[in-house]
Amino acid sequence: MQYDYLIVGSGLFGCVFAHEAKKRGKSCLIVEKRDHIGGNLYCENVEGINVHKYGAHIFHTSDKEIWDYVNSFVEFNRYTNSPLANYKGELYNLPFNMNTFYQLWKVKTPKEAKEKIKSQIDQLNIENPANLEEQALSLIGTDIYEKLIKGYTEKQWGRPATNLPAFIIKRLPVRFTFDNNYFNDKYQGIPIGGYNKLIEGLVKDIDVELDVDFFEKKEQWEARAQHVIFTGKIDQYYDYQFGRLEYRSLDFEHTTIDQENYQGNAVVNYTEREVPYTRIIEHKHFEFGTQSKTVITKEYPADWDSTKEPYYPINNDANNEIYKKYKALADKEDKIIFGGRLAEYKYYDMHQIVGSALKKVKDHFKEIS
């Protein structure tokens, strides 16, 4: 069968685009190389718990239109992200706020906390930070850097902080209130029943073919539709002709435990260098689960190669230059639209993906009308 749109990839971008095209009376076919839809939002049901298979996902936005849009497919709960940090067995609240400062220094007022941070920064006397370590120290002082930033960041990037560029950390938000809510956004939550409900709502009555790698029969797939929406890797689309774009990857170790409540919180970061994982996620807490068992996931940062999932683009100058060349080719295409985190080589949160897909659909339909 011929379609108006072939959508390569069933992540959030592809599914929003497909839904909107169908709403405008167009026929769509989604092809997906994994054995399930949903991209990195996908949840696996284990012991009645929605396990975020590709990393913890918390939806947050201040845009009411986007919040209403996702809630029109599935109602979201009122989960509020309040992660903890575990440093050598001591627990600290995140993001850095009055609770953290009390736990670090027993200070009780914003004035005392500000003075403590300022005195540590002043003592260091760093004028032109030469690397990430100096940058962080000059913004936040020694204690917070050493206990809560250094080890975590070094694990994330796989390199000492003194070998990382200063620009990675532009600012370090601190809050002088007793407020553990990680996000500043107006709306946040988790779909009741899990992210699969959101994805299933978006692709209702749309044809999907799973276990299909578009590149195995690229020409044949492209011939099946008038337009192609491509959400895979842009360098792969152009046969790596300008070189390969680089990523950081992650390994996830999921474990089911015969215990009702393992750590009492969905997200606990491990901020010391010696613990090899960066965080432990206990999935049931995203949905206030009361199951008798629990599932936890240890998250290990990893170097990326072509056998691993490309999770985080490394937007350094070299990669950005390569991406620019691919983008110049993409901009000349008239049949193909590139969208989403892999095709645009950009870290996007979910609300940004929804916003970007809705905008691209709108622009596209304006152009063809």
Catalytic residues: 171, 175, 248, 279, 299, 347, 349
Helix, strand, coil tally for the chain in percent (to 5): 35, 20, 40
Nearer to ligand FDA, 124 or 192 (CB): 192
Q: Residue 225 in contact with residue 38, Cβ under 8 Å?
A: no
- Nearest approach in angstroms of CB 109 to ligand FDA is 32
**Residue listed under structure tokens 């850097």:** 145
- Nearest approach in angstroms of CB 81 to ligand FDA is 8
- Eight-state DSSP code of residue 39: G
Nearer to ligand FDA, 108 or 359 (CB): 359
Tokens of 167: 């620009």
Q: Residue 27 in contact with residue 5, Cβ under 8 Å?
A: yes
- Nearest approach in angstroms of CB 99 to ligand FDA is 22
Cα-flanking dihedrals φ and ψ of residue 303, to 5°? -65, 155
- Nearest approach in angstroms of CB 202 to ligand FDA is 11
What DSSP line would sit under 3-18, residue for residue? EEEEEE--SHHHHHHH
Nearer to ligand FDA, 76 or 215 (CB): 215
- Nearest approach in angstroms of CB 231 to ligand FDA is 5
Nearer to ligand FDA, 10 or 99 (CB): 10
Angle between helices 110-124 and 98-105 (to 10 degrees): 70
Cα distance between residue 60 and residue 13, in whole Å: 16
- Closest residue by Cα to residue 289 from 172, 175, 194, 148: 194
**Strand runs (DSSP E) across the chain, as ranges?**
3-8, 28-31, 43-46, 49-52, 59-61, 84-87, 90-93, 187-189, 207-209, 225-230, 247-257, 267-270, 279-282, 294-303, 312-313, 336-338
- Nearest approach in angstroms of CB 121 to ligand FDA is 30
- Eight-state DSSP code of residue 147: I
Q: What is the CA radius of gyration of the chain?
A: 22
Q: What is the 3-state secondary structure (H, E, C) of 200-228?
A: HHHCCCCEEECCCCHHHHHHHHHCCEEEE
Nearer to ligand FDA, 145 or 326 (CB): 326
CA 168 to chain centre: 17
Q: Residue 85 in contact with residue 91, Cβ under 8 Å?
A: yes
Helix (H, G, I), strand (E, B) or coil at 252: strand
Interaction site with ligand FDA (CB under 6 A): 8-14, 31-34, 39-41, 55-59, 212-215, 231-232, 250, 311, 340-342, 348-351, 353
Nearer to ligand FDA, 39 or 191 (CB): 39
Q: Residue 85 in contact with residue 95, Cβ under 8 Å?
A: no
Nearer to ligand FDA, 146 or 349 (CB): 349
- Nearest approach in angstroms of CB 64 to ligand FDA is 16
Helix (H, G, I), strand (E, B) or coil at 56: coil
